[in-house]
Amino acid sequence: MKWIGVMSAVLAVVSSATLAQAACPVPPGAVKIAVPSGLPTALRRALPGDIALPGEPFDSTDVYVKGNKHRRYIFVWNIGTWWIVAMEHGGIALRAAIFTYDLGKNGKAALLIEESTTFPESACASATKLVEKRSDMGNRVLALE
HSE-up (13 A, CA, CB side) for residue 41: 3
pLDDT digits (tens, 9 = 90+) for 86-138: 999 988 889 999 999 999 888 889 999 989 888 888 888 888 888 887 776 65
Tell me how far apart the alpha carbons of residues 7 and 47 are, in angstroms, rounded to a whole number: 32
Q: Are 134 and 97 in contact (CB under 8 A)?
A: no
Q: Give residue 116's identity as a one-letter amino acid code.
A: S
pTM of the model: 0.76
Q: Is the dihedral of CA 41, 46, 48, 52 positive or negative?
A: negative
For residue 85, the enclosing domain spans: 2-144
**How many structural domains does the chain have?**
1
29: left (phi over 0), alpha (psi -120 to 50) or beta: left
pLDDT digits (tens, 9 = 90+) for 39-76: 999 999 999 888 999 999 998 888 888 888 999 999 99
Query: If DSSP codes are grouped into helix, strand and coil, which group holds residue 113?
Result: strand
Q: What angle do CA 129, 27, 115 make, to 5 degrees?
A: 35
